[in-house]
Amino acid sequence: MKQKINLSQSFVTLGILIGLLIVFLIEVFLGSSENINVLMKMGAMNNYAVVAGHQWWRLFAAQFLHIGVMHLVSNAIIIYYMGQYMEPIMGHVRFLVTYLLAGIGGNLFSLAFSSDRGLSAGASTALFGLFGAMVAIGLRNLHNPMISFLGRQALVLALINLALDIFVPGIDIWGHIGGLITGFLLAIILGDRVMRTYNPKWRVLAGAVLIVYIVWTVRTGMVISF
């Protein structure tokens, strides 16, 4: 792909980063980005609140919150890097839809398998969705050296980060795995703007798997240990 990458091709990525910064500043203004009360008020993931409190909006809101400035910076750097390549390839709308829905999908997996007493937040569920989406795009475009390389690179980054998750306390690895799965499926379903897309059979299959994934994680997550 010989297109020159510039801000006009990745304005959604820039918008996401600005949004994350604004939300973080609101957290700080309300008290602290590490204050549990502030995080709960603004929509951090907590299984009790989601299921018992019927606050399903947290599945969406939690991906915009961050716990500490380094949490924000580390996610923002990789989102910026991934977005510079992926947004021109996928197109603005597909990129944004994949990012947001992968964040929800990651939080669904977290709801199903993480501790019911835990509290989590961060854009990493959506970020892992970008990893998964890039892997799917790379697999479909193996004939293109640049795109297939980016797909392999995304897979390596995802595996390295998942391996680090095992040794770092307080990381929601389930949310990361869920985001990765959701992003992979969404890229197959939605396709991309300029490269080869999956044939209809694969897209229907991915859609069916995604529906099963949603039903399974919701049903599993509805079982709460009080």
Would you please indicate which residues are annotated as catalytic (active-site) residues?
124, 176
Amino acid identity at 180: L
Distance of CA 190 to the CA centre of its chain: 16
Secondary structure string (H, E, C) spanning 69-101? HHHHHHHHHHHHHHHHHHHHHHCHHHHHHHHHH
Please tell me the distance from the alpha carbon of residue 184 to that of residue 213, in angstroms, as a whole number. Answer: 12
Please tell me the distance from the alpha carbon of residue 128 to that of residue 71, in angstroms, as a whole number. Answer: 15
- Integer-rounded Cα radius of gyration of the chain: 17
